[in-house]
Every structure is written in structure tokens, then in C-alpha cells.
Structure 1
């Protein structure tokens, strides 16, 4: 796999993950708004964590696309967080098994790609 293709594949995976986190954030807000229940501080904290996750993975996607060296650690940490969330979903702690499988597949694909030689070379270069 060529360097540009590997980097683009990783950027696309991160962009898909960003869209999924954004969708989860929107669904959580709608759920809180329509439940009629009082939203406690925990609910607001959860929404804030989802929003921060969206910004994190979105920034990682842009950084990978632009081949910035700071994007690699962002990507690795995000994939590890997503891996843990996927395992939690498989065990029924959060979401469900189908979501767990999707999260695990994306996280494993992202981790494999971020350690491939073409991506390592692309994200190791100093800015021009």
C-alpha cells in the first residue's frame, strides 16, 4: 500500500469515527431533551465528554490527512479509548454488541494502519 493511500485510509477511518461520535452526541442530547427528566450534572458531563471526543478524533483526522506528526499520538490514544469502549459495548456495559463490533473493527483497523511503515514515514516527517 502506498504512503498516500495508507494515510488517506487512516484519515477516512478517523473521519467515520468522528461522525459516529457526533451522532452519539446528538442522540444523547435528543434523549435528554425528550425524556422529560431533569438532566443532572452527570448528563452534562457525559455530553461534554462526547463533544471533546468528537473534537479530538476530528482533529486527528485532519492532522493525519495533512500528514502532521502531532496527529499520530492523538490517533493512537483515540484508538485505544475506542478499543476499550468497544469491549465495554460487547460486554453490555454500554450500548450493544453490534456497536461494540463496529467500534472494535474501526479501532483495530486504525491501530494497524497507524503502525504501518507508510503511515509512520508520512507522520514522522518534519513540516516543510
Structure 2
């Protein structure tokens, strides 16, 4: 998998200010505000920065947490996990493995079959419907 590395100025040009804040500066969108929170259409959720396929709609579920949630990545090689100790918490951050975009966090309280809940910012995603 080839990495995409761009200077910060290029990311600022490619992304709107909110997308930039979430994906490049690790901000978090307000709960229940994301454009994909209630999306139920069939399709693929991709990285807003580089277009890498991240999550399939058939793994999306309503976790009631305020962010789109998925029980597994479309391809484990497309995401990377890192320990996050910010804000006085210990969490597992989820990043795009191609461009290092911050996507959200993963928690061990999801449904079967994985028991995982990928809690992802809508601002880090684009949606490609499948008809």
C-alpha cells in the first residue's frame, strides 16, 4: 500500500476547514451533528482525504453514541490503530493507513461478530452509494 504524504498547506487547500480540523488536527465533530450519522443507503464510506475505502454500509449500526459506528473496517490494511492518551483518557485512535487522517476511535463494546465499535467522524468520510 503506497502512502500519501502531502504538506500541510496542500491539505488545507484540499479540505474544508472542518474536515481539516478533524482529519489533520484530530478534532472531533459534535455528537449527533454528522452528515452520515443516519445514512442507511448501501455503499462504501471512504477517507475524505485520499479516497481509501474504509467501511461498508452493511457493517454500520446505530450505537446511540452520536457518531457513525461500524463493527469492522472494509479491509484491516486500510486502517491503523494507535494508543491515544489525550484528554485524560486512554483510547484507541483509528487512522487512515494511506494518508494518516484521524478518523475517530475504536472501542471493544460493539455488536457481533467482532465486538468492536469504530466510532468515526462523518467529516473524515465521503460516501459512495452502490445502486
Q: TM-score, normalised by structure 2?
A: 0.24
Greater helix share, structure number: 1
Give 1 or 2 for the bigger CA radius of gyration.
Answer: 1
Q: TM-score, normalised by structure 1?
A: 0.24
